[in-house]
Structure 1
Amino acid sequence: MTTLRTPGPTIGVVGGGQLGRMLAEAAAPLGIEVVVLDPTPDCPAALVARDQIVAEFDDEAGIRELAARADVLTFEIELADQDVMERVSEETGTPVHPKPSTLETIHDKIVQKRELEAAGVPVPPFRGVEDADDVRAAIDDYGAPVMLKARTGGYDGRGNVPVESKADAADALESVAGPAMVESFVDFEREVSVIAVKGAAERSSANREDTPRDDDETATFPIGENVHEDEILRETIVPARSSETVTDRAHAVARDVLEVMEGRGVYGIELFETREGEILLNEIAPRPHNSGHWTIEGAASSQFEQHARAVLGWPLGSTKLRSPTVMTNLLGDVDEEREAELGDIDRILETPGANLHWYGKRQARPLRKLGHVTLSAGDEDASVEDLLERARDLERSVTFRTDE
């Protein structure tokens, strides 16, 4: 096995939002430096990363500069351009993980669903739609309501529109604005997710150090239960209140998903648990995911540390649950855009097992993710229901700036 040393290599990250910030925080103790590329000067990751390149996510010159300063490229936002990243990687020799081909698959939801369905991953019935008549035909076949989704560009619920009746088809399609698909509405018991990691295989000492490692070491974190409102994640509860059979099935589906994905890294795999106890795939994010933020305090190693290890081909860490944990998002509780400032954080700071994460965004907008709070049981004998109620109380205790 290769002897690893620290200070170590540099990871170049396309995107410098909160995910890039937390990735840099996790990489630093391992001696790994992070350089981010983001169009917003002094982006959230800039405070903790080694440096920031100010450029658009698809700026080829900027990505070339990033590649020249990094040992491996990765991304924390799907707006990264897969064609540019693949071209820069081929010409500079700097690898990209996950692979640009995976990003290409993820970019178009219908392509994503077709590839996964072909691989035997269970998905809800779906089809592409061109016009309102196609949406109405889908309602005939699937029943109302159906979920209309933008095939590209949707994020945090944007581009997802439930269509309650045929009369709503035209307006719903107009609101999506662009290529769209329809999914059968899933009458789920709960929404769950598995944070899964694809790493590099162990290598025997007989192999040369420069021999490429196979991408077949995998790991999964305990299943999380997600609470959404207005299509935006509000809370994640770990462990999920699911049966052992459902939990085992969710992990099996996540491992099947990893077989389809190309390249190393963390994948956020969102799933539906149906009322019959079946697991259906919802969507995949080829990066650390909001529903995995609980791992920073709740697991032996966080999803961000795992991503850094994985993209570099380092051995993965333990994904063992430390103790039951609840994560709640701090969303912009404002009517219009204004300076982002959080107040009344005393209760969070005073509460044993509670941890505040502020993302460093300068502007608050309605329902924008500005931070999160985790509450872990630790040695306390607390149920996840109790933790959830206490975490909600902590979230309600904070206030956003109201003065002009």
Structure 2
Amino acid sequence: MSVTVPGPTLGVVGGGQLGRMLAEAAAPLGVEVIVLDPTPDCPAAPVARDHIIGEFDDPDAVSDLAARVNAMTFEIELADADLLSDAISTFDVTVNPAPSTLAMIEDKLIQKRTLDDAGIPVPSFRPVDTVSELTTALDIFDAVMLKARTGGYDGRGNVPVTDPANAADALEAVGGSAMAERLIDFTRELSVIAVKGDETVRTFPPGENIHDEEILRETIVPARTSEEVRNRANAVARDVLETLDGRGVFGIELFETEAGDILVNEIAPRPHNSGHWTIEGAHSSQFEQHIRAVLGWPLGSTARRSPTVMTNILGTVDNSRPAALTGIEPALTDEHISLHWYGKDEVRPLRKMGHLTLSDDTISITDPSTDPDSLTIQSLIERARQCREAVAFIQTPPESS
């Protein structure tokens, strides 16, 4: 294909921090971005060419977006797969990843069944709609992670269950129709950011993810595991891509078991929080790769530049209120740390407000699995944590009318 710059206009359903970083990555490529999001002044609005204010399932808003762009994608699973399919047939526009892939992934039970049918290793699972079915699942698996079939993210919609006495409350908490998945006693959580282009598939090096309260706190690259396990994770990720239609970046979350096996936890059909390290830590970021892929352009390199640690900045204030971030001087002083602020108007507990990335090419890590607590990798982790722990939120006065 022939690529010219300035390039096409890309429509993005969703204007959160992922939409913001997509627009930032698109600008150097000569690609303009229009976002659709229900929130006025959403994080992507300041960096996108335009912002259509509308719900993700609003047919008029989606049609308005489709009529103004050359290609479409999405940065949130709340995008409506049927409306995206309609856009393809009604307007001269491409949509990637394919709406059928979105529809499959957004239902966690269908997602797991699709992977299982393809022979991809996943934890054992069962559909659960009643207390009796959940109790049966507990009899079989002993302990389960109960997952809402749709709508869950960042730990929302996930409830661990070990006691049948808690079955009714757990099922109510996830909203009824759910999937019970065997609770895995994993060694570590990994993820692979995989890219599916027109004829090319590429994967970034696996990252090691550290969660707390089901929220991602840190991603460490290279993952502190053996080269064999990292290769196995990449191979599984490539197998996953074979089950997915359309082009783009996919965040593939994995469990590493004590035996070194890899199980697929979940798939995100978009750039992923655990791939933010690629902005500074890889030759091309997951966001640039997503732009290239959905437009059908040649893909960039996914090679790692240097050892990297990404740590999320999460809201710590009570309730939801306007606030500003202070204590960023240590991060700004460290010449290897980059600060990313998402521009959200209000802070609330555990809301992702930004992240810090420490990418240091002055140190060498040949195989972190041989000494995972070595000073080199541990020093990166500690430096990133110190800078993260130095920041704090202060309430800002409301704007005068």
* TM-score, shorter chain, exceeding 0.5: yes
2:390 aligned residue: 397
Structure 1 residue runs of 4 or more that deviate by more than 4 Å after TM superposition: none
CA offset digits 1:30-50 (Å, max 9, x no partner): 101111001111110011111
Aligned-pair CA distance for 1:136:
1.2
1:329 aligned residue: 312
CA contact (8 A) 2:134 2:180 kept: yes
1:30 aligned residue: 29
What letter is aligned with 1:356? Answer: L
2:181 aligned residue: 183
CA contact (8 A) 1:196 1:267 kept: yes
CA offset digits 1:294-346 (Å, max 9, x no partner): 00000000000000000000000000000000000000011111103111111
What letter is aligned with 2:94? Answer: P
CA contact (8 A) 2:14 2:56 kept: yes
Among 244, 247, 265, the residue aligned to 1:282? 265
SS of the aligned residue for 1:188 comes to coil
SS of the aligned residue for 2:265 comes to strand
CA offset digits 1:52-84 (Å, max 9, x no partner): 111111111111111111110000000000001
2:150 aligned residue: 152
CA contact (8 A) 2:322 2:396 kept: no
Is the counterpart of residue 96 in structure 1 residue 89 in structure 2?
Answer: no
Is the counterpart of residue 262 in structure 1 residue 245 in structure 2?
Answer: yes
1:311 aligned residue: 294
CA contact (8 A) 2:282 2:303 kept: yes
**In the aligned structure 1, how far is the partner of 2:48 from the partner of 2:267?**
26
1:87 aligned residue: 86
1:294 aligned residue: 277
Is the counterpart of residue 165 in structure 1 residue 163 in structure 2?
Answer: yes
Q: How many residue pairs align between the two structures?
A: 387
CA offset digits 1:6-27 (Å, max 9, x no partner): 1111110000000000000001
Q: TM-score, normalising length from structure 1?
A: 0.94
CA contact (8 A) 2:324 2:396 kept: no
- The share of aligned pairs that are identical, in percent, is 63
Larger mean CA deviation between 324-333 and 164-173 belongs to 164-173
Residues 53/403 of structure 1: CA separation in 2 closer, same or farther (3 Å cut): closer
Among 273, 281, 300, the residue aligned to 2:256? 273
Aligned-pair CA distance for 1:358:
0.2
CA contact (8 A) 1:340 1:361 kept: no
SS of the aligned residue for 1:316 comes to coil
2:119 aligned residue: 120
**In the aligned structure 2, how far is the partner of 1:199 from the partner of 1:59?**
29
**In the aligned structure 1, how far is the partner of 2:337 from the partner of 2:206?**
21
Alignment RMSD: 1.0
**In the aligned structure 1, how far is the partner of 2:163 from the partner of 2:379?**
39
**In the aligned structure 1, how far is the partner of 2:160 from the partner of 2:3?**
50
1:59 aligned residue: 58
**In the aligned structure 2, how far is the partner of 1:315 from the partner of 1:385?**
36
Is the counterpart of residue 15 in structure 1 residue 8 in structure 2?
Answer: no
Aligned-pair CA distance for 1:5:
1.2
Among 184, 188, 210, the residue aligned to 1:227? 210
SS of the aligned residue for 2:111 comes to helix
CA contact (8 A) 1:195 1:220 kept: yes
CA contact (8 A) 1:238 1:384 kept: no
Is the counterpart of residue 194 in structure 1 residue 192 in structure 2?
Answer: yes
Aligned-pair CA distance for 1:380:
3.3
1:365 aligned residue: 348
What letter is aligned with 2:323? Answer: A
Aligned-pair CA distance for 1:397:
0.5
What letter is aligned with 2:241? Answer: L
What letter is aligned with 1:285? Answer: A
CA contact (8 A) 1:36 1:49 kept: yes
**In the aligned structure 1, how far is the partner of 2:377 from the partner of 2:304?**
13
Residues 244/94 of structure 1: CA separation in 2 closer, same or farther (3 Å cut): same
Larger mean CA deviation between 357-366 and 130-139 belongs to 130-139
CA offset digits 1:140-175 (Å, max 9, x no partner): 1111x2111100000100000000211111111111
Q: TM-score, normalising length from structure 2?
A: 0.95
Aligned-pair CA distance for 1:93:
2.5
CA contact (8 A) 1:17 1:44 kept: yes
What letter is aligned with 1:124? Answer: P
SS of the aligned residue for 2:290 comes to helix
What letter is aligned with 2:45? Answer: A
**In the aligned structure 1, how far is the partner of 2:58 from the partner of 2:210?**
36
**In the aligned structure 2, how far is the partner of 1:385 from the partner of 1:61?**
51
CA contact (8 A) 2:220 2:310 kept: yes
What letter is aligned with 2:259? Answer: E
